[in-house]
Structure 1
Amino acid sequence: MTILKAENISKQYRLGLVGTGTLSHDLNRWWAGIRGKEDPYLKVGSVNDRSTKADSEYVWALKDINFEVQQGEVLGIIGKNGAGKSTLLKILSRVTIPTTGEIKTKGRIASLLEVGTGFHPELTGRENIYLNGAILGMSKAEIKSKEAEIIDFSGCERYVDTPVKRYSSGMRVRLAFAVAAFLEPDILVIDEVLAVGDAEFQKKAIGKMQDISKGDGRTVLFVSHNMAAVKSLCTRAIVLEHGKTVFEGAVEIAINKYLDIDKTSLDFTYFKDRKGNGEIKIIEASVSGFSEEQVPQSSKKFKIKFKLENLNRYNATEVAFDIRIDDNIGQRIAWLSTTLLERNSNNIVEFIIFEIEKLNLNKGVYYVTTFILVNNELSDWIQNAFSFEVVEGDYYGTGKLVPSHQSKVLMDFKVEYL
């Protein structure tokens, strides 16, 4: 059964101003309405790309979003910062209205969009439980029957009769999530706020959301930058980019699509999304297998070659270069660093090549983060700078391949039978 349907949802904002803008714009809108015409400002507006200079005073935070959610489904909504995820959740939660389009829902919606959403800071934790329950349309008796479970799950029993304004951000998230989860909404909407909680609570929260969807048959909409959480929790995912849907479907494909956005080029000359003073920085990178033309393959020789711009002609003893290799859900697989080996060369650093004689990564897509220090100062840091794919190979020389879901890393080992 379809429990939520979004039809042609768009949201337009005016940059730099609060409200709709000038009196003349309001009059133009009014006059268009009197004549039965479309709002003239719906025809203008630029794409929501936060990194570019505005070419219009209007921007489309969301543009023509369409999807359906079935009862008991967990839908992940992923994308870069500024892609429109939070705006979409605010529209779904009725916090704001869409400029165009319509949301159709069945049942109660509980939202956790920001730390302390819906909490009154002067009221105690216990009083806020009853306030939130009343907002959801629950009777006092219904709330009271859930009160003990909410307090126990939140882990805030000692402070439950203390005003919320004295809570830490983590405590607020704990109590707010417990309230939203236990007061039995038909649709639970969760933004990135769970990242504020500690690891133990995040694990509890994800387990509770799984129980809500699988056990109780309720629906969850989940926004997160934690791809491991998205993969373990969600049954389907939507990828947003610049306010538009670029993919909707299987979770693993969606995660790969999200990670691959703007990551196809290995020319870093004009790469903007980096940190550091730039005394040494990457201008080019290449990945190769056992020959320059071959793609990386398990058990074969593997190389990553970096071409550097070395402005002040630093030598190897002054430069520390690290690379981190993550899998497609952001879990760290390996860390390689020049600091682990001898750096006694006086050569001016222009290229750095990391070489592995027998690649022990299994089949899959991997992402490389680069980090350069020059004399212990950050020079160049690029998160998820690029990706590479490894094809399967006969690592053990037995003709038997290891399924990639069984192990990301292949290890040399021996077995003795006594």
Structure 2
Amino acid sequence: MASIRQLCPQCCWIHNGQLIDQGDTEETLANYIQSTLRLPTGANVPSTASRSGTGRLRIRRIRFENADGDTLTTVQNGTDVTIAMDCEAAADEHFTSVVASLALLDDHDNYIWLVRSSFTREYFSFTGSTTIRCHIHDLNVAQGTYRGVTFLSERDNEILDNVRNAFTLTVVSGDFFGTGDQGLPTRCKTLTRSTWTHS
């Protein structure tokens, strides 16, 4: 898609011989990408996932949402995405300072990305089950498929739920840099914008 963005001010989207959309390249590509991202339901945490913690609070379901709250099957780098974790309490327990974390692993089991609510001094207080949402601004992960790790703790002391391989995230290429360049996804999994000068 980067080549289309760089070379074509206008384009058309054809599916099974039928013209679906045509016009401005950015609008047509946005419509195409949006059509591939919709999924009616989220994904349950696999029963085969490696899990530890006390179990007083468990992550049962994870989904990716766009700004309208639609569930996505893939996400596009350079866009905003919300990761929603449906959490189920063992009983009608009251939690006072829950910390939530999400991490992505590459195909070599290396951590390449991490967000944690305590980094921004955000702690959750609730009774019973809830949905915890993490709003990611301008996703800076290169295209590829990643495995996810989730973590919930009470006050960074008691591990409530720690799930390795809790989800799979497929990131498709957007226009993160604004130039159509994809970066080097086979060499580096995170993307960072920069400006360069010389003197």
- Taking structure 1 as the reference length, the TM-score comes to 0.34
The one-letter amino acid paired with 2:139 is: L
Structure 2 partner of 1:370 = 150
Q: Given that residues 289 and 297 in structure 1 are in contact (C-alpha distance below 8 angstroms), is that contact kept between their aligned partners in structure 2?
A: no
- Within 5 Å, which residues of 2 pair with 1:18-417? 266-268=43-45, 273-289=50-66, 292-294=70-72, 295-310=74-89, 311-315=91-95, 317-343=96-122, 346-348=125-127, 350-375=130-155, 376-417=157-198
Shift of 1:293: 4.3
Deviations 1:101-154 (A, max 9, x none): xxxxxxxxxxxxxxxxxxxxxxxxxxxxxxxxxxxxxxxxxxxxxxxxxxxxxx
Find the residue that maps to 2:51 and give its secondary structure: coil
> 1:313 Cα shift?
3.3
Distance 1:285 1:411, change over 3 A: same
- Could you say which structure has the higher helix fraction? 1
Contact 2:97 2:123 in 1 (8 A): no
| Partner AA of 1:416 in structure 2 | T
For 2:58, the aligned partner's letter is: K
Q: Which has more radius of gyration? A: 1
Answer whether contact 1:322 1:371 (CA < 8 A) is retained: yes
Provide the rounded CA distance (Å) in 2 between the counterparts of 1:269 and 1:334: 21
What are the Cα deviations for residues 372-410 of structure 1, in whole angstroms up to 9, with x where unaligned?
A: 212421211111111110001111112222231142111
Q: Secondary structure, in 3 states, of the residue corresponding to 1:318?
A: strand
- How far off its partner does 1:290 sit? 5.2
RMSD between aligned alpha carbons? 2.4
Which letter does structure 1 place at the counterpart of 2:142?
Answer: N
**Tell me, what secondary structure is at the counterpart of 1:372?**
strand
Any conservation in 1 of the 2:101–2:116 contact (CA below 8 Å)?
yes
In structure 1, the residue matched to 2:35 is none
CA contact (8 A) 1:280 1:374 kept: no
Shift of 1:287: 1.9
Paired residues in the alignment total 153
Inter-partner Cα distance in structure 2 for 1:322 and 1:366: 16
Residue 239 of structure 1 is matched in structure 2 by none
Query: Alignment partner of 1:405: what SS?
Result: coil
Instruction: Classify 1:332/1:303 alpha carbon distance in 2 versus 1 (closer, same or farther; 3 Å).
Output: same
Residue 106 of structure 2 contacts residue 146 of structure 2 at CA under 8 Å; is this kept in 1?
A: yes
Question: Any idea what SS the aligned residue of 2:118 has?
Answer: helix
Q: 1:271 to 1:283 in 2, by over 3 A?
A: farther
| Percent pairwise identity | 22
Query: What's the CA shift string for 1:6-41, capped at 9, x where partnerless?
Result: xxxxxxxxxxxxxxxxxxxxxxxxxxxxxxxxxxxx
One-letter identity of the residue aligned with 2:130: E
Q: TM-score, normalised by structure 2?
A: 0.67
Alignment partner of 2:43: what SS? coil
- By relative contact order (CA 8 Å, sep 6+), the higher-ranking structure is 2
